[in-house]
Amino acid sequence: MTITAAADGSALGNPGPAGWAWYVDDTCWAAGGWKHATNNQGELKAVLELFRATAHIDDDLLVLCDSQYVINSVTKWMKGWKAKGWRKGDGKPVMNLDLLKEIDEAIAGRRYRFEWVKGHVGHPLNEAADERARGAAEAFQRGRPAPAGPGFHGAAGHGAAGHSAGGHSAGGHSESSAPEPTAAKVTERPAERVTEKATAYPHSELFSFEELGDDIGEDDGALTDLHGADVLRSTGELHRVTLALSAEEHGRLVQRSAARGVTIEEFLRGLI
């Protein structure tokens, strides 16, 4: 038997009030958050808590995730990072180290696979996880208790997590795991999410990139896909920029984006 669940994170401002959530169905999900964290931390925490919640189940786990950063970190880069003492190819420390180490422990001996799904396009499980992660982030933004969810039946600590909250500063290349989330049940429904502007910009991939500066050009996680839509919703605006390129310049851009395995727009966003 395979358990299929979506895991997602959300950060308002990135970094800012943040949330995480995993979702199987309306009777089986969990969420939490922090006063201040990044989107990537929310994404990683959602995956970590999903593995922890299903640790008592001897079934395969299919994780639906819209973050290629998380998928690649767990399935591609983690082994190399560990071999290098949890450092990247350039010798710099791996970001979000505490969360990655906890995930490494949680997945040991587990049967699992990840499947990438595009975020904010109506995928039922992804949308449900995103709504709950964003609801947790909004709760922390407003200073209210974050919805915890029912948890996974039979799991240790089933139900509200009841962890204490704390502040968090994530900056530069020393970003670490955020503190344990507060997760107290409330009856309030999370605020209505803002619809993605896909109809106004049908050819636009809403991605942004977090690790810029010295990390641009790295092969092991420098370009990380975030919820660009979350950042856009926090400002309420989407700015369209038109760039005129010569044929030679366009050719180089195509080659460089292809070498990264990303679209042209994703590559350009990574340079901003």
Q: At what angle do helices 39-53 and 124-141 cross, to 10 degrees?
A: 120
Task: Examine the residue annotation and report whether 130 is marked as an active-site residue of this protein.
Answer: yes
Which among 181, 138, 130, 139 has a CA at the least distance from the CA of 160? 181
How is residue 26 annotated by DSSP?
T
Task: Examine the residue annotation and report whether 196 is marked as an active-site residue of this protein.
Answer: no
Helices (H), 142-260: 228-235, 247-260
Residue 42 CA to its chain's centroid (Å):
5
Six-digit token pair at 126?
């992804």
Distance CA 60, CA 270 (A): 35
Task: Examine the residue annotation and report whether 59 is marked as an active-site residue of this protein.
Answer: no
Six-digit token pair at 11?
């950060």
Task: Examine the residue annotation and report whether 42 is marked as an active-site residue of this protein.
Answer: no
Q: What is the dihedral of CA 94, 96, 98, 99, to 10 degrees?
A: -130
Distance CA 239, CA 254 (A): 23
37's enclosing H/E stretch is: strand 28-37
Residue of 130, 131, 220, 230 with catalytic role: 130
Distance CA 102, CA 95 (A): 13
Residue of 8, 127, 131, 225 with catalytic role: 8
Residue of 32, 49, 102, 120 with catalytic role: 120
Residue of 32, 33, 42, 66 with catalytic role: 66
Active site residues: 8-9, 43, 66, 120, 130
